């Protein structure tokens, strides 16, 4: 018998969503980098669309949305504090797990990921619509931010000398080795230094996804991380370049495998690689 998710309520199937379309207590949101290439050409009926870089990041700072920006998004999306929010996206749901992490940071209790995201919905031939839903705005007020979900740069620096802490590099092997500053085939941003945080182990974020975009079985995921030296007793700090890919690994560790102490370092390589005085490892000649 297959092992169950540690927190099964955080993950719902496409069938579960299809049975609850337009339920007043449920809001479905699609999160992607380029909504004109996804949401605007067809989305789950009744779903609202959130831009990864416009709604789920601060417009000026390299940061998560601030409290006012987050509350404004929830209000115009028709979300109350007791609303069940179901998130999905393209690219194995990595934007959805980022939005999930942000919502948990701001204290929203009932947030769920549609397993398989847009990919699985399409493969199953489920309906899409192009019209944006009519939404009645709310007076949403966020909870108290939860700092235990987030690792700032200073915390990561201190963690380099602490036992029981595992830094998890979720990028591609080329980024981890110090060959590239972004994934192969994507624009290479001007980051001052390439490489990885010293001591970080490597498990690519998308190694946790099956071909249909759904999460791999629990036993496979547990073995994958265990073989990299990561166990449930560890404090784990995933990072990537922007924090988005790291949020996917964070979700697996915390909500599928049941790890208690996992923090996303969302400053990730854009911060670490441009910071003076922090140590770096690389496989490339210096």
- The answer on 127 and 38 residing in a single domain is yes
pLDDT for residue 82 is more than 70: yes
- The answer on 181 and 161 residing in a single domain is yes
User: Residue 277: inside a domain, yes or no?
Assistant: no
Q: What is the mean pLDDT of residues 22-41?
A: 96
CA-to-CA distance for 108 and 171, rounded, in angstroms? 28
Per-residue confidence band for 2, with pLDDT thresholds at 50, 70 and 90 = low
Per-residue confidence band for 286, with pLDDT thresholds at 50, 70 and 90 = low
- The answer on 166 and 119 residing in a single domain is no
User: Residue 282: inside a domain, yes or no?
Assistant: no
- The answer on 254 and 128 residing in a single domain is no
User: Residue 251: inside a domain, yes or no?
Assistant: yes
Long-range CB pairs of 246-250 (<8 Å, 24+ gap) are: 246/168, 246/170, 246/205, 247/94, 247/97, 247/98, 247/100, 247/101, 248/92, 248/93, 248/94, 248/97, 248/98, 248/170, 248/205, 248/206, 248/208, 249/168, 249/170, 249/203, 249/205, 249/208, 250/97, 250/101
Give pLDDT tens digits for 207-221: 999 999 999 999 999
Give pLDDT tens digits for 113-140: 999 999 999 999 999 999 999 999 999 9
User: Residue 139: inside a domain, yes or no?
Assistant: yes
User: Residue 281: inside a domain, yes or no?
Assistant: no
Q: What token pair was written down for 183?
A: 């994934």
- The answer on 155 and 139 residing in a single domain is no
Give pLDDT tens digits for 222-280: 999 999 999 999 999 999 999 999 999 999 999 999 999 999 999 999 999 999 999 99
Q: What is the mean pLDDT of residues 16-22?
A: 95
User: Residue 40: inside a domain, yes or no?
Assistant: yes
Q: What token pair was written down for 271?
A: 């911060």
- The answer on 152 and 111 residing in a single domain is no
Of 119, 145, 171, which residue constitutes the final position of a domain?
145
CA-to-CA distance for 201 and 167, rounded, in angstroms? 6
CA-to-CA distance for 115 and 97, rounded, in angstroms? 11
Q: Supply the pLDDT for residue 285.
A: 75
Give the count of domains, the chain: 2
Residue 127: which domain range? Answer: 8-145
Q: Supply the pLDDT for residue 1.
A: 41
- The answer on 128 and 216 residing in a single domain is no
Of 145, 163, 190, which residue constitutes the final position of a domain?
145
Closest residue by Cα to residue 129 from 41, 22, 33, 34: 41
Q: What is the CATH number of the domain that holds 84?
A: 3.40.250.10
- The answer on 139 and 30 residing in a single domain is yes
- The answer on 139 and 12 residing in a single domain is yes
Return mean pLDDT, the chain: 96
Closest residue by Cα to residue 93 from 38, 161, 135: 38
Q: What token pair was written down for 191?
A: 């980051």
Of 100, 127, 145, which residue constitutes the final position of a domain?
145
- The answer on 153 and 90 residing in a single domain is no
Q: Supply the pLDDT for residue 60.
A: 86
User: Residue 35: inside a domain, yes or no?
Assistant: yes
Q: What is the mean pLDDT of residues 67-96?
A: 98
User: Residue 279: inside a domain, yes or no?
Assistant: no
Active site (catalytic) residues:
240
The model's pTM is: 0.97
Closest residue by Cα to residue 96 from 127, 45, 55, 138: 55
């Amino acid at each position: 018998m297959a092992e169950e998710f540690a927190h099964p309520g955080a993950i719902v199937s496409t069938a579960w969503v299809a049975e609850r379309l337009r339920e007043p207590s449920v809001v479905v949101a699609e999160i992607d980098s380029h909504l004109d290439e996804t949401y605007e050409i067809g989305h789950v009926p009744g779903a609202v669309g959130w831009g990864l870089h416009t709604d789920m990041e601060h417009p000026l700072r390299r940061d998560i949305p601030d409290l006012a920006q987050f509350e404004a998004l929830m209000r115009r999306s028709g979300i109350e504090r007791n609303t069940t929010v179901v998130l999905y996206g393209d690219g194995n749901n990595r934007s959805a797990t980022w939005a999930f992490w942000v919502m948990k940071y701001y204290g929203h209790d009932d947030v769920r990921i549609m397993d398989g995201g847009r990919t699985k919905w399409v493969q199953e031939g489920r309906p899409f619509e192009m019209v944006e839903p009519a939404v009645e705005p709310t007076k949403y007020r966020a909870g108290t931010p939860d700092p235990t979900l987030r690792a700032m740069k200073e915390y990561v620096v201190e963690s380099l000398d602490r036992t029981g802490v595992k830094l998890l590099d979720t990028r591609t092997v080329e980024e981890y080795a110090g060959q590239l500053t972004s994934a192969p085939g994507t624009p290479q941003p001007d980051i001052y230094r390439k490489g990885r945080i010293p001591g970080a182990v490597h498990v690519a974020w998308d190694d946790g996804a099956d071909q249909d975009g759904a999460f791999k079985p629990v036993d496979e995921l547990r073995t994958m991380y265990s073989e990299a030296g990561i166990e449930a007793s560890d404090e784990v700090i995933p990072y990537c370049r922007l924090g988005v890919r790291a949020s996917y690994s964070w979700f697996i560790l915390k909500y599928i495998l049941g790890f208690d102490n996992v923090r996303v370092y969302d400053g990730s390589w854009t911060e670490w690689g441009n910071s003076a005085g922090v140590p770096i490892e690389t496989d490339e000649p210096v």
